[in-house]
Homo-oligomer: A and B are copies of this chain.
């Protein structure tokens, strides 16, 4: 489970994977159920699920012969926190900008937070 910002953002850049997450927001689902809405092969879906799992966005269970997936929201929280550093850019007036800039230190901050 990498769960780095690299892996998380990369996983989310694919619309199929975002759709899978959307489906999992409704609750646990099997691979077959997750594959159903798409015109993709089962192995393609399994690959997407692997990417999501390695990014820490979902987890696999085991129920008889199936391996149901469910959301693992920690990774989403991670990028939500990252975006939080920039939230003031659209949420608030630019007057207070200088006050918070010490929080956003670029490369090093980004790596340490990974």
Contact = CB atoms under 8 A, between A and B. Distances in A.
Interface in A6-42: 6, 9-10, 12-15, 18-23, 25-26, 37
Contact of A74 (B26, B82, B90, B106): B90
B19 A106 contact: yes
A105 interface: yes
A94 B106 CA distance: 35
A97 to B, nearest CB: 8
A13 B15 contact: no
B6 A110 contact: no
A80 interface: yes
A63 interface: no
Interface in A29-68: 37
A25 B104 contact: yes
Interface in A64-86: 71, 73-74, 76-77, 79-80, 82-83, 85-86
Rank and list the top 7 A-B pairs by shortest CB-CB distance, nearest first: A22-B106, A19-B107, A73-B89, A9-B13, A10-B13, A25-B104, A9-B12
